[in-house]
């Protein structure tokens, strides 16, 4: 017996190792698929983000070039309030007002955002503006400029602001603003402006302004023409448009880096709002959380060549296609885990079942050998005439009869279990009265009850009539009662309970509460009872309470399993309930005339 248990234990350990190896062999490829799949999705998204970022930079540079090209194409005469002369119907020379004097709302691709104003500086001393022809408010009013007094005042203030910026950046030496020169005679005497350089240059001021200028000659005098914009407004509107158009799936940071002065750096934060719309905010501080993944960096076009855009993010979303792949992986993982657990559970169950079968063979062998040996011994003694005393002869005959009856019950249990397992047992169901059932119970278990000094107590529900009949198979019902009563007596004696008040078995017939076509039948003992762990296993085949090495009760572990199958075969139900003393087996059968 010890050697057998050790072998079963070794089999379980070996089987666990096999299942674990099987699980690892399936899991490792799955882990590799997940890892490389994640890397593939991440690399694909990184490529998409880099392409989007590079395309955004291309579009930004293209738009900057377009804006500067539009200004480059602009006539230098438009930088003056009276940008040309024409004759009226009386042949008088009349000035034509520059379109820059009355600017329209800028177009997001071609025009200037954050514009402060246009200027012309002649000989580094004289400032001209298309906003007004004269330097003072009174002079402009006296010249009948077609503007309101408040508008003239605002424009004079704006010219003064432009002048201060130019002086601080050493583009203008004097503070005077002179009137536009007037030519009253011939068209050939109009202002002569010749552009010397075709490209704008850029000055970045300390107070976050951009000054764009180009060199020209004005009537043989050196001059500068250009415009001033607010840095943040000029860039934010442009960068925001194309960063939004990139349509990132999560937060992205775009650093506007000034290579010559880090204090001028700006940071644009792309975010997805709750409603799904994109938002671009501007900040003067960096967000370190958005530096995990470097996406792309590149320089801006001339004249912004000393400025760079750096795109980065905190994470890379894997995209919608990854959801289906990872869903498949989750399902596959669930299948692998479930299969491994199921395989392990079935294997352990088979190993334990094999152990139970081995114990069953050992128990049956013992249960058969012991009574057979005793029967043979007493039979030989009686046959040889060794026993002359009549009382001893009677005792030996009773012993042989009891052991033969016990052998018969064991063999019947094994045969009935085999027939039920192979669906060979055909139940012959018929309605039997409860009084008949009482007589059957008494006749079948009286010998066992009397031999062990037990008492049978029958309890009948008052609502049951004498005509109540139960649908049963007579042999199967008798087998159920014998097995349950035999178990009750056997475990009571094994527990060595010395209490005559508990040496009884209660058999109860009651009306079923859920259906008037069923009857409850219970057999309750007052023995040691069962534990909570045994409660869920008691009807399992080959299950026996206790340890095989220390067990004191006889049995094969098939009695209660057979009872369960016999009840089910009669369209009945069976359950077990633990009591304060003992245990109750509760059966439900079909009945009529309740």
Q: Stretch 300-311: mean pLDDT, rounded?
A: 88
CA atoms of 46 and 52, how far apart (whole Å): 10
Would the pLDDT of 64 be above 60? yes
pTM: 0.54
Q: Stretch 119-133: mean pLDDT, rounded?
A: 87
Residues with Cβ within 8 Å of residue 387, at least 6 apart in sequence = 381, 393, 396
Q: Stretch 92-116: mean pLDDT, rounded?
A: 71
CA atoms of 243 and 140, how far apart (whole Å): 45
CA atoms of 478 and 136, how far apart (whole Å): 127
Alpha helices of 471-513 — where are they, by DSSP H?
A: 474-494
Please say whether the beta carbons of 162 and 209 come within 8 A.
no
- pLDDT at position 181: 39
Strand partners, 86: 94
Domain ranges of the chain: 2-69+321-365, 74-232, 427-592
pLDDT digits (tens, 9 = 90+) for 346-360: 888 887 777 767 766
Q: What's the whole-number average pLDDT of the chain? A: 81
CA nearest neighbour of 485 among 507, 502, 461, 460: 507
pLDDT digits (tens, 9 = 90+) for 407-421: 777 777 777 766 666
CA nearest neighbour of 55 among 195, 247, 183: 247
φ, ψ (nearest 5 deg) of residue 183:
-115, 115
Please say whether the beta carbons of 382 and 395 come within 8 A.
no
For residue 266, the SS3 value is strand
- pLDDT at position 549: 42
pLDDT digits (tens, 9 = 90+) for 240-293: 888 888 888 889 999 988 888 888 888 999 888 888 788 888 888 898 888 888
Please say whether the beta carbons of 406 and 398 come within 8 A.
no
Fold for the domain defined by 427-592: Heat Shock Protein 90 (3.30.565)
Q: Stretch 362-372: mean pLDDT, rounded?
A: 68
For residue 511, the SS3 value is strand
More confident residue, 415 or 329: 329
Residues with Cβ within 8 Å of residue 242, at least 6 apart in sequence = 56, 59, 60, 63
With 0-12 / 13-18 / 19 or more C-beta atoms within 10 angstroms meaning exposed / middle / buried, residue 585 is buried
More confident residue, 354 or 502: 502
CA atoms of 592 and 470, how far apart (whole Å): 7
């Amino acid at each position: 017996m010890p050697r057998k248990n050790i072998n079963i234990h070794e089999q379980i350990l070996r089987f666990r190792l096999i299942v674990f190896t099987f699980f690892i062999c399936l899991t490792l490829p799955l882990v590799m698929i997940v890892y490389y799949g994640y890397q593939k999705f991440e690399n694909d998204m990184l490529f998409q983000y880099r392409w989007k970022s590079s395309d955004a930079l291309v579009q930004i540079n293209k738009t900057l070039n377009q804006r500067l090209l539009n200004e480059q194409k602009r006539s230098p005469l438009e930088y003056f309030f009276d940008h040309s002369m024409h004759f009226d119907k009386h042949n008088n020379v009349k000035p034509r007002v520059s379109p820059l004097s009355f600017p329209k709302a800028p177009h997001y691709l071609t025009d200037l955002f954050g514009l402060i104003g246009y200027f012309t500086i002649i000989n580094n001393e004289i400032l001209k503006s298309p906003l007004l022809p004269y330097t003072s408010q009174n002079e402009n009013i006296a010249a009948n400029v077609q503007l309101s007094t408040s508008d003239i005042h605002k424009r004079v203030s704006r010219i003064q602001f432009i002048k201060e910026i130019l002086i601080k950046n050493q583009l203008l030496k004097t503070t005077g603003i002179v009137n536009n020169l007037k030519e009253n005679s011939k068209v050939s005497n109009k202002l002569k402006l010749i552009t010397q350089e075709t490209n704008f240059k850029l000055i970045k001021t300390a107070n976050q302004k951009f000054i764009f200028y180009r060199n020209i000659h004005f009537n043989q005098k050196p001059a500068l023409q250009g415009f001033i914009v607010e840095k943040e407004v000029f860039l934010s509107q442009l960068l925001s448009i194309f960063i939004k158009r990139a349509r990132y799936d999560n937060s992205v940071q775009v650093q506007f880096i000034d290579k010559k002065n880090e204090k001028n750096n700006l940071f644009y934060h792309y975010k997805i709002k709750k409603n799904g719309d994109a938002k671009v905010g501007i900040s003067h501080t960096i967000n370190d959380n958005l530096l995990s993944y470097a996406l792309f960096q590149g320089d801006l076009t001339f004249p912004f060549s000393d400025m760079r855009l750096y795109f980065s993010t905190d994470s890379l979303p894997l995209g919608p296609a990854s959801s289906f792949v990872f869903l498949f992986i989750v399902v596959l993982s669930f299948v692998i885990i479930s299969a491994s657990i199921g395989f392990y559970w079935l294997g352990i169950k088979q190993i334990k079942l094999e152990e139970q079968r081995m114990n069953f063979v050992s128990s049956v062998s013992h249960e058969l050998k012991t009574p057979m040996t005793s029967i043979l011994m007493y039979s030989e003694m009686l046959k040889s005439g060794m026993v002359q005393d009549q009382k001893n002869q009677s005792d030996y005959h009773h012993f042989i009869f009891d052991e033969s009856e016990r052998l018969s019950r064991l063999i019947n249990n094994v045969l009935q279990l085999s027939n039920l397992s192979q669906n060979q047992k055909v139940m012959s169901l018929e309605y039997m009265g409860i009084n008949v059932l009482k007589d059957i119970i008494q006749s079948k278990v009286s010998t066992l009850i009397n031999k062990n000094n037990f008492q049978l107590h029958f309890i009948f529900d008052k609502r049951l009539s004498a005509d109540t009949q139960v649908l049963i198979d007579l042999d199967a019902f008798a087998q159920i009662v014998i097995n349950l009563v035999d178990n009750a007596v056997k475990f009571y004696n094994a527990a060595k309970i010395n209490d005559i008040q508990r040496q009884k078995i209660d058999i109860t017939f009651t009306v079923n509460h859920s259906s008037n076509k069923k009857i409850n039948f219970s057999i309750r003992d007052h023995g040691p009872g069962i534990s909570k762990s045994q409660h869920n296993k008691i009807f399992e085949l080959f299950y026996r309470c206790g340890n095989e090495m220390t067990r004191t009760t006889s049995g094969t572990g098939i009695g209660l399993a057979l009872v369960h199958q016999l009840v089910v075969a009669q369209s009945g139900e069976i359950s077990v309930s633990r009591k304060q003393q003992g245990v109750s087996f509760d059966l439900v059968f079909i009945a009529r005339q309740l």
